[in-house]
Structure 1
Amino acid sequence: MKGEEALARAILRSADRCYTVPGYPVSDLAGRVGAAITANEKVAVEYALGDSLSGRRAAVIVKHVGLNACADPLVHATAQGLRAGVVIVVGDDLRAAASDVVQDSRYYGEVARVPVLEPDGETIGPAVEAAFEASETFSRIAIVRVTPGLLDADVPETPAPRSGREGSLADPGLTMAGRAQAADRRTAAMVAWSRTSPLNRYEGDVFHAVTVYPPPADPDVLARILEAGRPFLREHRLLEPPATTGEPERFSARGYSRTFCRDCPFHPALAILSERRMRTTCDAGCAILAMNPPYRVGLATYGLGSSVAVAATGPGIALAGDYALLHSGLAALIDVYERGLPLLCIVLANNRMGMTGGHPVPDILRYIAWADPVVCAADDTGALRRALTLPEEGPRTVVIKGTCPEGAHHETLEYRDL
C-alpha cells in the first residue's frame, strides 16, 4: 500500500478525533481520516487540546506553513500540560511544489520543546502510536513530520496496538515559572526517550532516525546521516538536555499568589462561577488570574485567544477578555457557532488590555453582533445569575461590561493551600 494509506490507518487506530486545514501534501490524508475542517490551524489545535482535557486523543493534520499558526498553543501546552495525547501530523513540501515557501517543521521541536518523529516506510504505525504515547508521557503536544516521498512510497502496513497512557495538567500549586521548570525536567527525560527508542535502527551501515527531536544518537552518527530537507540532525548533534536548577517554584514556597484588582468590576461574576463550581478554560490576560485563589475556577490556559475552542471540546465554559477575543479568539468563536458546539463563552469587556499597560480596545459588541450575545453590566448580579448558566444546546456568548478603576493594580495575596 502507499504511505498515505498506511498513515491514515495508523491515525485512525491511535486518535479519537481529527482536525485539519487542508493543503499539499496532506489534503488527501486528511480526507482519508475524515478530519473536520476548521477555520484555521490554531483553532484545530485548540479543539484538540479541549478533546485532550476531555480524555480523547486528537490528531491535527496541516501542511508546513500551517504549523506556524499553531505555534502559540503548541508552546503553551508544553508548560501547561494535557491529558490525552495530541499529535500534529505536518506535511513538509520540500520543493515548494504547491506552496509559497519551503519550511522544515522539525525546528518546531526545538522552539516548543516537543517530541518530533519522522517515520520511514517500515515504522509508520509504530511511530504514530509512539507520538501519542510521547505526548502523554511528557504532557505536551507531539509532532509527526511526513514528506511527499513517504506519502507516495510503497510501504508495508505496520499496525501498532494502542496504549492506555494518560498525561497530566501542570500541578496547580506551581507558579508559571515553576511550570516552566517542571517542563524542562520532562524535556530532559525526552532526551533519554529518543536515545533508547526501538524505532531508530541500523540497517547495515545506515542509521535510520525516527525520533528526530531530541536527537537520537551520538554526534558522530548524526554527522553522517542522510536527511530530507535541511541538515537538522547534524545541526543539533551536540544538543544537551536543559539543566535543572532546584525545585520548581511553588506558590506555597513563594508565599503569595496574584489575583484581580481589589475594585475589579468582575468580582461578582467570578464569585458566581466559583459558587456554582463552574470550571473554565482561561485566556491569557486578566482571565488567567481565575486559576488562582480566591476563585480557582480556571482549569487550563493555552495562550491568548485560545479559551474558546479549547472549552468547546473541553469543559464547555470559556473565560476571555475582550482583547483576547479580538486578538485571535474570533476565528474560534465563528467556528464554534458554525458547528453549533455547546459552549458558554464569557467575555470580560473592559475596553482595555489589562495586562499590558491598559491600552484601549475597541468595543467588542460591534464585532460579535452576529452571535446575538447576552450583555450584562458587571454589577448587575441578578442578570449575571441568569446569564451564567450552561446553554441547553449550542453556543451562547455572554458579554460582561465593566470599567476598570484608574490606577488599580492586581492584588498580591498571601498564599494559603486550601
Structure 2
Amino acid sequence: MNSVMNGIEALVCALRAAGVQSVYAVPGYPITELAEHVIEHMRPRARWVISEKSAFEMAFGGSVSGRRTCVITKHVGLNVLSDPLITSATHTIGAGLVVITGDDPLALGSQNEQDSRYYGLLAEVPVFDPNPHNLMGCVASAYMLSERTRAPAIIRLTSRLLEAECALESLSIPREPLSSYDHGVWSLTLHGKHQRFYRDAHPLMRQEAEHTSLNRLVHRGEDVVISSGYASYVVERALEAGGLDVSHLSLSLVNPLPLSLLSRALSYRRVLVVEEPYPFIEHHIATHEHVRGRTTGHITSTGIGEEDVLWALERLDTEKLEPEYVPQSLDMRGYRHYICDNCPFLPLLEALSELDVPVAGDVGCVIRSAPEPMAAVDVALALGSAVGVASGFPEGGIAVIGDFALLHSALPSLVHARAWSIDVLVVVLKNSVAAITGGQWLPELELLDDVVRGICPEVRVVSCSALDRDGWHELLSTLLEGHGLRMVIAEGVCPEG
C-alpha cells in the first residue's frame, strides 16, 4: 500500500489505470458524487445519460468496437438495464465492460434496499464486492475477467465504501489479445450461444473465484465468519476490538461463489455469515445446521456495525434467535425530507392535496410530498412510473412527474395513454435538472417540450410564478373536466440546483 484515499478517488484512479475510454452515468444515491468525480476527471470520455438502459447499450456499443467502457448507476438502475445486461453475457461483448452499481443499505436515498449481487445469478456474470483494502484490485480484475469471459462484470459498492479510506495500489491491467467483437457467434443458435457460454466462459469465472487473492480465508480459531464487501472490513475491526481468535473468510468475488473455499469454511465448528443488505451468501449454505446469520436472527439489520458482529458471535450456540422487529417510522428515524420551503412547485403540490382524485407521484422530489401533513400524492412506485400508474386508475386521475423521470422511462406509458385515449392528467414539474440527486443538467432535458408535443394532443405550459395555490387548484380542476390524455408543464427553477 503506497498511500490511502477515499473510495471515490480510488475508483477514478482505477478507471484511468484501466484505460477506460467511455463512461456513462445516471445520477442517483449513493453513486452521484462518484459519477461527478469521474466526469470531472475523465471528460469528455465520461458523461451523464438520461436512462440506465441507454447507458448500458452505449457501453456495449463501445465494447464491441474494442473500447473498454463503464456504466455507473445506483442499484435500482440495474433493474432498468437488466434486459440488455442479461442478454449480453451469451451474446458476448468485445473489450471489457464493467457496471459499477451503488447499493443503498437502510434505503437512505432510495425506494428499496435491493441487493445487486443477485443480478450475478440472473445475468450469469461476475460480481465483485470490494472492501477498502482491495477496491482498486477489484476494478482491475473485473476488466480482465470481463474480457476473458466476453461478458460484462458488475462491481457492487455502498456509501460506506465510497467514504472509507481505501488502499492506493499500483495497477497493471493488460488487455486480452482478442478484445473486439467475434462475429462468429452468429453461426450459433440462441440455445447454442448459451451452451458455448457454459463451456467456455463459466469455467473461467469459477476458476477465478477459487484462486483469486480477492477471496481469502484467514485461520485463527475453531469458529469462522464469512463476509463480503464493506462488511468484511467491519468484521475485521470487530474481531480486533474484541480480541477474538475467530477465523475469517472474506469474499470480494461473490458470483460465482468459491465453492471449495466455502466448503473449507463450513468445516469449522460454527459459522456466522455477515453481509448486507440481503443474505446472499447465507442462502447458498443455510441448509447447514451450524450456519448462523440473518435468517437465524443473529444479524438483525443492515448498516452492520462492529457491535452487531460481536453480539452475534456471543450467541452462536443458539440455533435460532427471535429478535423483535419494529418497522422504522419517520419519527423513529429522527429526521424527515420535506419539500423545500422555497420550492417553486410547492403551491402546486398543496393544491393537489385538496383534489378528490387519486394522484400517482414519482420518486423524485415529489415523493417528499407524500407523507402527512401535505399528503399530495397517494402512491409513488419507481422512477418514471407515475404516468403508467395513473393510467391504471379506473376513474381517471393525475400523474405528477419530474422532467427527468418523464424522459427516463415514462414515454412508453405516455404513448399508450394517447393511443388508448386514457383519461389521465399528467403534471410535469419542469426544472431542467435532476433535482433530487443534486441538480445535474442533461441536454436531453432541453428537448422535453418537443418530445411531448409529438405525443400529447393538449399541452399547457405554465410558469410557477404565475399561479398561487388557489390558481393551481382552479386550473387543475378545470383540466380534470376534460377527457383523454392532457398535460400541463409547470416551469420553475430549483433553488437547490
Same fold (TM over 0.5): yes
132 and 199 in structure 1: CA distance in 2 versus 1, 3 angstrom threshold: same
Could you state the TM-score of these two structures normalised by the residue count of structure 2? Answer: 0.47
Residue identity opposite 1:32 in structure 2: H
Which residue of the other structure, out of 6, 10, 30, is the alignment partner of 1:6? 10
Residue identity opposite 2:22 in structure 1: R
Residue identity opposite 2:212 in structure 1: S
Q: Secondary structure at the match of 2:173?
A: coil
CA deviations over 1:216-266 (Å, ceiling 9, x no partner): 222452754422321211223599xxxxxxxxxxxxxxxxxxxxxxxxxxx
CA deviations over 1:276-296 (Å, ceiling 9, x no partner): xxxxxxxxxxxxxxxxxxxxx
Q: Is structure 2 residue 227 aligned with structure 1 residue 179?
A: no
Q: Is structure 2 residue 55 aligned with structure 1 residue 44?
A: yes
Residue identity opposite 1:46 in structure 2: E
CA separation in 2, counterparts of 1:44 and 1:159? 29
Residue identity opposite 1:232 in structure 2: F
Q: Is structure 2 residue 281 aligned with structure 1 residue 233?
A: yes
Which residue of the other structure, out of 265, 269, 272, is the alignment partner of 1:221? 265
Contact 2:50–2:444, Cα closer than 8 Å, also in 1: no
Q: Is structure 2 residue 127 aligned with structure 1 residue 116?
A: yes
45 and 219 in structure 1: CA distance in 2 versus 1, 3 angstrom threshold: same
CA separation in 1, counterparts of 2:101 and 2:13? 16
Structure 1's unaligned 5+ residue stretches are 240-325, 331-335, 340-365, 368-418
Which residue number in structure 2 is paired with residue 159 of structure 1?
170
CA separation in 2, counterparts of 1:82 and 1:173? 16
Deviation of the 1:171 alpha carbon:
2.3
Aligned alpha-carbon RMSD (Å): 2.8
Residue identity opposite 1:174 in structure 2: L
Which residue number in structure 1 is paired with residue 470 of structure 2?
none
197 and 90 in structure 1: CA distance in 2 versus 1, 3 angstrom threshold: same
Residue identity opposite 1:230 in structure 2: Y
Alignment of 1:18-37 (within 5 A): 18-34=23-39, 35-37=46-48
Structure 2's unaligned 5+ residue stretches are 40-45, 220-246, 288-410, 416-441, 446-453, 456-497
Contact 2:148–2:204, Cα closer than 8 Å, also in 1: no
Contact 1:41–1:70, Cα closer than 8 Å, also in 2: yes
Q: Secondary structure at the match of 1:202?
A: strand
Residue identity opposite 2:166 in structure 1: V
Contact 1:219–1:238, Cα closer than 8 Å, also in 2: no
CA separation in 2, counterparts of 1:228 and 1:127? 19
Matched residues, percent identical? 36
CA separation in 2, counterparts of 1:104 and 1:44? 21
Residue identity opposite 1:22 in structure 2: P
Which residue number in structure 1 is paired with residue 252 of structure 2?
210
Greater C-alpha radius of gyration: 2
Could you state the TM-score of these two structures normalised by the residue count of structure 1? Answer: 0.56
Q: Secondary structure at the match of 1:171?
A: helix
CA separation in 1, counterparts of 2:6 and 2:153? 24
Kindly indicate whether structure 1 or structure 2 has the higher relative contact order, using CA contacts under 8 Å at least 6 residues apart: 1
CA separation in 1, counterparts of 2:204 and 2:173? 22
Q: How many residues align?
A: 251
CA separation in 2, counterparts of 1:9 and 1:56? 18
Which residue number in structure 2 is paired with residue 144 of structure 1?
155
Which residue number in structure 1 is paired with residue 209 of structure 2?
194
Deviation of the 1:11 alpha carbon:
1.8
